Structure 1
């Protein structure tokens, strides 16, 4: 049910009808690409279940995982979503997923009809911005081992659902470095 997206909020029956009219439930199989580099971005996704990642590919073809998304997370190429630019990232389904899609236009409509939803999204956006800022600072100031241990603490059950190269690219290290770090930590 769409109202599960908005934990802590209650809605009238009219508001539930509005929510149901703007959110579109989708199921996607592992390996599905939801967004490619260069696409127009006018939607974002709420992840009811499954695992996704957004990633960037540099001119040499190296992948950089920017975000993982799983149960109760939101994902999009936000640089493009909040501007008129084309996508600079790809979004891939890593594990079969059930998603709710909402367009930018429908989101604006929702804000005008149900103001508490705009507050909900503002708070989510503030938290996401703070998390991204912490991640940038960590990548600038922490060792690879510190970044890995903090990743495991922050996402304790995610590791078994991801490929090693996805984790390594998120941490900004090679898969060989990730293996070495895991080995060193298991010996301690």
Structure 2
């Protein structure tokens, strides 16, 4: 197992914290840094079946996990119908996995804007150009529209499109998995009760 530098104490093998957000803060990028790792976002589809896709973790603010999308997207419609989701984040190089399940709510306009400003130029452009009409176009037309948009906007800063939206998940359940090559893997499960207190269990890996 490879442990990331400076993170030897942030495993599930040592004395577990009473609050899982403390452990999450040791695993996730610090607040205010660049967008975090990719993750699988699972929502409840409008047909009742699970619906999953890979997105960026935009931010962990110590209490909630933020992500952003086009407000015309399928996931936006699913969250409007059922504002609950799960996130699965995997660090293969550190033999770690974090699964977070909870309630989802829109972020503020300021939070959405800060997340857009933190995106790379490519992702900022993608938020403008990559719509449903473009998705059905030929490869040549898609590249032409991309190039035309870049030439039109130049190198100046981009404002977020009106379709840019953000969400934050407040955890109700958190599952930390830690792998190993010299022993069994381990899972640490937390669940928040109605009073806001966390209950902790160790599960087989």
TM-score, structure 2 as length reference: 0.24
Q: Determine which structure has more spread, i.e. the larger CA radius of gyration.
A: 2
Larger proportion of strand: 2
TM-score when normalising by structure 1: 0.26
